[in-house]
Amino acid sequence: MNAREFARHIDHTLLRPDATEKDILRLCEEAKLYGFASACVASCWVGLARDRLRGSNVKACCVVGFPLGSEIYHAKAFEAREAVHAGAEEIDVVMNIGYFKSGRTDYVRMELEEIIAASKGATVKVIIETCYLTDAEKVEAARLARDAGAPYVKTSTGYGSMGATVEDVRLIKKEVPGIMIKASGGIRTYEDAKRLLDAGATRIGTSSAVKIMEELKALQAPK
């Protein structure tokens, strides 16, 4: 695919705790310049991002329950609802991994359903933090997300011990029909992103989006 098509698969991301207003505005300008799918920020920056992205095709995306996912679900649902009110069009929410690994799947399902309902009008991606899960748990978590009504599952916050892998994308793609996959965590080069898209990912989340696009443009430049 050409550079513009490739960019539409990327969520340009800035989730550093020390990110400033100037940094967020730059992220949004870069997202518009390259034509990324979204600019992904913390919920406190959604209003600013939405204002700066207005008139473009770039969506405002924000994380909820980030990066641990261990807040009580009412708090996560409230954050999601407020983010949508502020202009978020996509919500990336961290699943409660500790409850999931404790076998409290009914709670996790209820939590996800509540958050998805609170995010009405926005696309929800459920972050399952694959580095903490066995293969069987990855499949079960992705199924929970799908059955709760989320169109996407996301591999990682980027704050775990490991990020996205081709093997995890292929596993979820094969075992959980109907769920789209956002590969995120440790994606720093064009080759990283391309391998994950080729494996079946629909979206790439990365803070290295500009670097990736410049690598792609260099590869596609006439010799």
* pLDDT score for 175: 98
Q: Is residue 84 part of a domain?
A: yes
Residue of 92, 125, 138, 192 with catalytic role: 92
Q: Is residue 26 part of a domain?
A: no
CATH number at residue 137: 3.20.20.70
Residue written as tokens 């400033």? 20
* pLDDT score for 34: 98
The answer to whether 145 and 179 are in contact (CB under 8 A) is: yes
Residues 6 or more apart whose CB falls under 8 angstroms from that of 133 comprise 97, 101, 141
Within 10 angstroms of residue 157's Cβ, the number of other Cβ atoms is 23
Q: Is residue 32 part of a domain?
A: no
| Rounded CA separation 142/216 (Å) | 31
Q: Is residue 91 part of a domain?
A: yes
178: left (phi over 0), alpha (psi -120 to 50) or beta: left
Q: Is residue 77 part of a domain?
A: yes
Task: Tell me the pLDDT band of 207, cut-offs 50, 70 and 90.
Answer: very high
Q: Which domain holds residue 74?
A: 59-217
Residue type (1 letter), 210? V
pLDDT digits (tens, 9 = 90+) for 100-154: 999 999 999 999 999 999 999 999 999 999 999 999 999 999 999 999 999 999 9
Chain centre distance of CA 24? 17
Task: Tell me the pLDDT band of 4, cut-offs 50, 70 and 90.
Answer: very high
Q: pTM of this prediction? A: 0.97
Mean pLDDT in residue range 53-76:
97
3-state secondary structure 76-93: HHHHHHHHHHHCCCEEEE
Task: Tell me the pLDDT band of 1, cut-offs 50, 70 and 90.
Answer: confident
* pLDDT score for 222: 86
Task: Tell me the pLDDT band of 223, cut-offs 50, 70 and 90.
Answer: confident
Reference 201, options 221, 180, 218, 220; nearest CA is: 180
Residue of 76, 138, 154, 194 with catalytic role: 154
> For the chain, how big is the Rg over CA atoms in Å?
16
Mean pLDDT of the chain: 97
Residue of 125, 182, 192, 194 with catalytic role: 182
Q: Is 194 labeled as catalytic in the residue annotation?
A: no
* pLDDT score for 91: 98
Q: Is residue 106 part of a domain?
A: yes
pLDDT digits (tens, 9 = 90+) for 72-101: 999 999 999 999 999 999 999 999 999 999
| Rounded CA separation 70/93 (Å) | 11
Mean pLDDT in residue range 182-193:
98
| Rounded CA separation 174/64 (Å) | 27
Residue 48 has pLDDT above 90, yes or no: yes
Q: Is 92 labeled as catalytic in the residue annotation?
A: yes
The answer to whether 157 and 127 are in contact (CB under 8 A) is: yes
Residue type (1 letter), 5? E
Q: Percentage of the chain surpassing pLDDT 90?
A: 98
Domains identified in the chain, total number: 1
Q: Is residue 212 part of a domain?
A: yes
Residue written as tokens 């990283």? 192
Q: Is residue 69 part of a domain?
A: yes
Q: Is 217 labeled as catalytic in the residue annotation?
A: no
